[in-house]
Amino acid sequence: MSIGKKPVDGETGAGKAGVGGRKASKRKAPAHGAAPATTYEALVNTITAAYPRLSERYQQVGRFVTQNPNVIALESINAIAGRCGMHPSILVRFAQNFGYSGFKELQLIFQDRLATAAPGFQERINALETELKKNVEPGFLGYLRNQVVRDIATLQTLLETVSEESLQHAAVHLRNAEIIYVAGHHRSEPIALFAHYVLTMLRRRVILLNAPGGLATEVASTMTSRDVLIAIAFRHYAKEVVTIAENAAANGTPVVAITDSQLSPLSKDASVLFTVPEEEYSFARSLAAPMSLVQTIATALASLLQQDESKTSTPAPAAAGKAVSRRS
């Protein structure tokens, strides 16, 4: 490498040629030191672990490949690069950074997953668009159709990705909390407002850490391990919400995170993590899925509270037996 030339992501002089100008081995040692992942789940975990140390361009690729697995499996490297907004060589170096000989070998991981996976986000959109085009009127109604198509696809994916265990843990944290703090700014603010509303209706003590007051971080500093934080942030993650979540985790406050990916900065501090898939390169990002998720979490909490109430209002069997004996 000539003096003064800045290395590109994952590129070094040794990576281009070996001793005496001989061509280096095709397979590059993974930057994280382990063998390359052989399953989709392992690869996602590997990318997630390495994400904070990746360059900005590699982080962009990491977000795209983990959020669009079927696109990676089915489309050409040039088409994928176009959708990512970068040169195909970046994708090749990204794959080599994780120990693969090239992008094609990494792509095989996604193709293996596709053989057994349910239809993905983009596939649902394509199928729904084909069906709905039969009855679409021209004009502004097309905008509504496009929005509905994407909302349906996102909601179906949400149904498959949210687990019973996650909902149970979130509801238990909210039930046991002395105070529930809710943080969501910018595009996430309507979701935070809705969470504040429905949880207040359940007679929980709820504090909304909203931006207009300018004291959200200061108020959040009063959180303790007896409280819980609901942190909501999507790309491009509000810095104040991320900071609040980090401080909450440092104080031992459980964090229920609602975000878009395992690569989100909220994921590392989350006690319970909910990921809501969405298109990274779209103009208008829908709130349908996260709103539905918040409503479901509130419903799960209401169910637990109802169970608790029924236990306290029903006499214990022993006590009931004593009452009978006294009357006799």
How many C-beta neighbours within 10 Å does residue 151 have? 16
92 in Cβ contact with 103 (< 8 Å): yes
pLDDT for position 103? 92
Q: What residues does each domain of the chain span?
A: 24-114, 121-160, 163-305
pLDDT for position 218? 85
pLDDT for position 130? 58
48 in Cβ contact with 262 (< 8 Å): yes
Q: What CATH class is the domain 163-305?
A: alpha beta
pLDDT for position 235? 77
Q: What CATH class is the domain 24-114?
A: mainly alpha
Averaged in consecutive runs of 10 residues, what is the pLDDT profile of the chain (328 residues)?
A: 42 39 47 74 86 90 84 87 89 93 90 63 55 58 78 84 93 96 91 96 93 77 94 87 92 93 85 80 73 96 90 60 46
pLDDT for position 197? 96
Q: What share of the chain is helix, strand, coil (3-state, %, to 5)?
A: 60, 5, 35
pLDDT for position 159? 86
pLDDT for position 154? 83
DSSP 224: -
pLDDT for position 116? 58
DSSP 233: -
Q: What pTM did the predictor assign?
A: 0.65
